[in-house]
Amino acid sequence: MALHEIVVLGDEVLRKPGEKVDAFDEDLERLIEDMFETMYHADGVGLAAPQIGISRRICVIDVREEEEPFGGKVALINPEIVEFSKATDKTSEGCLSIPGLEEVVTRPERVRVRALDPSGEPVEIEVGGLFARALQHEVDHLDGVLFIDRVSPLKRRMLLKKWKKLREEDG
């Protein structure tokens, strides 16, 4: 297994829709293992392939909640959200690709997702809470959407201004 560098806001791969995966082989298995290792090392609950510079529709999530399907841990290939609940939840979100920024984002409380597992078998899961939020966040990444796109234009401008300041301080 290997750690990958997490790309940050400004890298064009984060704004491109990921390419569908059609090869289910050892390379894919190794990439998924690397993604989990990279996510854990960064202390995240989800990671999408574009966040490590790979424009493919792969995401990993581990919300570490035993009551959730799969214990809250899953690797999904070509995921598609097929149903959203009408009820919504407002919670603060951050992103490994935009370190240092958080903002309250409104998302549906529950989602149903269709995808393929790492061996290419179809899966369908319905989840709520943090698992649903993480899934939506990661599927957004696969579509070239960031959490800052889910807030008001005013909040987005403020976040981008703060991001620019953080980058100047780091740099």
Active-site annotation, residues: 138
Q: Look up residue 16 and give its amino acid.
A: K
Q: Is the distance from CB of 61 to CB of 77 less than 8 angstroms?
A: no
Half-sphere exposure in the Cβ direction for 62 (13 Å, CA) = 13
Supply 17's token pair: 């829709």
Burial of 47 (0-12, 13-18, 19+ CB in 10 A): buried
Distance between CA atoms of 148 and 133, rounded to whole angstroms? 14
End-to-end CA distance of the chain: 30
